[in-house]
Amino acid sequence: EAQVTQNPRYLITVTGKKLTVTCSQNMNHEYMSWYRQDPGLGLRQIYYSMNVEVTDKGDVPEGYKVSRKEKRNFPLILESPSPNQTSLYFCASSLQGLTEAFFGQGTRLTVV
Amino acid sequence: QKEVEQDPGPLSVPEGAIVSLNCTYSNSAFQYFMWYRQYSRKGPELLMYTYSSGNKEDGRFTAQVDKSSKYISLFIRDSQPSDSATYLCAMSGPSTGRRALTFGSGTRLQVQP
């Protein structure tokens, strides 16, 4: 089954404690991206990757890092989380990036 | 002003009704237009994808794009309770350069049995 898998689904952490949200896709897609979803603001892109070792900033990259060492994986790293990063996060992938074809189930992050 | 505007709803309709969901946008460079459906506690799923202006039909769903008015619509015929979800419009620009979707904030639809 074609899917994008995120882990964990729910995470509560404290300010400043580094965390990683993993994302993996099994469709051999070149393009992957991360979004955050906040009430009234919709989905906003954090980072995207057009292929292995090729990443670039989206609209709201501050406070986040990503890496793309393998085609299937695209982890999101928060080096020093802050409360304003409390949000619902989605990973997405597509063959070419013109549309976001597949989204993961989401990771609800709370930073206290 | 947001680049993409979408009425948040909620929009409540009886089962069997025709539903019209709309978005307006300000960036004339947008060329790709999408509609996503998002159920509670789930990720968005792509419903319809249209390039440039025109109509596209898929079963009970019809997407319309009017680039001259910067207005897109999604029509749902014979709506069902299972259509109850949040509907997100999204759009993107030319295929060169940064590839990012600009999303509307979503319209919550409730179809009453």
CA distance B13 to B17: 6
State whether residue A85 is helix, strand or coil: helix
Most confident of A13-22, A96-105, B21-30: A13-22
For residue A21, pLDDT beyond 60? yes
For residue B98, pLDDT beyond 80? no
> pLDDT class for A97, splitting at 50, 70, 90?
low
Do residue A90 and residue B41 have CB atoms under 8 angstroms apart? no
Tell me which of A66-80, A91-105, B60-74 is least confident: A91-105
The tens digit of pLDDT for each residue in A49-82 reads 988 999 999 889 999 999 999 999 999 999 999 9
The tens digit of pLDDT for each residue in B1-45 reads 778 999 888 999 999 999 999 999 998 888 889 999 999 989 999
* Closest chain B residue to the Cα of A38, Cα to Cα: B105
- DSSP letters, chain B, are --SEEE----EEEETT--EEEEEEE--TT--EEEEEEE-TTS--EEEEEEESSEEEEETTEEEEEETTTTEEEEEESS--GGG-EEEEEEEE--SSS----EE---EEEEEE-
In this structure, are strands B11-14 and B107-112 parallel, antiparallel, or unpaired? parallel
B-chain residues near A3 (CB < 8 A): none
Please name the member of B92, B100, B104 whose beta carbon is closest to the beta carbon of A42: B104
Do residue A43 and residue B98 have CB atoms under 8 angstroms apart? no
B-chain residues near A34 (CB < 8 A): none
The alpha carbon of residue B94 is apart from the nearest alpha carbon of chain A, in Å, by 9
